[in-house]
Amino acid sequence: MIITETKPLTEIIDSLKKYRAIFLVGCGECATSCKTGGTDEVAAMKALLEKEGKTVTGSCIPGAPCTAAQVKAEFAKNMKSLREAEAVLVLACGLGVQSVKENNRLNHPAIPACNTICGAVIDSKGDFWERCSLCGECVLADTGGICPVTLCAKGLLNGPCGGMNKGKCEVDKDKDCAWVLIYRELEQRKDAAALQSIRAPRDHQKALKPHHKTLTHGTASV
């Protein structure tokens, strides 16, 4: 899940200051779950923009605006409203904004209504927790399913730093040290001895951006 939060209205209005007629794009997946780009939020944004003197020419909510085919299908259905617009305001993550830009043959400016925070899991209360930094070299098999790249403030791969104190992180004393969590998890599985092997440094080439992969016969390949 990509976590987003709605930008302050003043920032959105400032981004739209050159445009009077706006088309809105929401997101049926992550931004709906984050309550930043679902049906209610698109309707609320329409009302806010109209109060600010803008004309909202139309809106759509692709299932996943980060997917070209879904954006194109929704834009084809809304071509008249799109033609009347001067800009598209996207209530989705940065992926959605850029996908809308790249798949809009009318070439409107695509303006973000949200800030994109991170990838995260969502618990049963609806709270999100960042758990993966998309590092390209997953170590969860060796760390009891707990990610040190994300949960350790220093991203350490071979156990705790010298600042760990009573199980807490020296960078944030309210947080458990990731490596203490990993040790406890592996100890419970009677596998703590696995931590004695030294992990080689990460290959940061694998985290070089931007990534691009081609899908071949359903399998991602570089």
| Residues that bind ligand SF4 in the complex, under the rule CB under 6 A | 132-135, 138-140, 147, 149-150, 152-154, 156, 160-161, 163-164, 169-171, 177-179
User: What type of residue is 102?
Assistant: E
> Shortest distance, CB of residue 172 to ligand SF4, whole angstroms?
8
- Smaller CB separation from ligand SF4, 86 or 170: 170
59 beta partners? 24
DSSP one-letter string for 151-217: HSTT--SSS--TT-BTTB-SS-TTSB-HHHHHHHHHHHTT-GGGGGSPPPPP-GGGG-SS---EEET
**Cα angle vertex 60, ends 54, 65, to 5°?**
115
- Smaller CB separation from ligand SF4, 94 or 136: 136
> Shortest distance, CB of residue 215 to ligand SF4, whole angstroms?
19
Spatial contact of 154 and 161, defined as CB atoms under 8 Å apart: yes
Cite the DSSP H helix spans in 90-166. 94-102, 148-151
- Smaller CB separation from ligand SF4, 86 or 176: 176
> Shortest distance, CB of residue 156 to ligand SF4, whole angstroms?
5
> Shortest distance, CB of residue 204 to ligand SF4, whole angstroms?
12
> Shortest distance, CB of residue 199 to ligand SF4, whole angstroms?
11
- Smaller CB separation from ligand SF4, 166 or 217: 166
CA dihedral for 132, 39, 52, 23, sign (positive or negative): positive
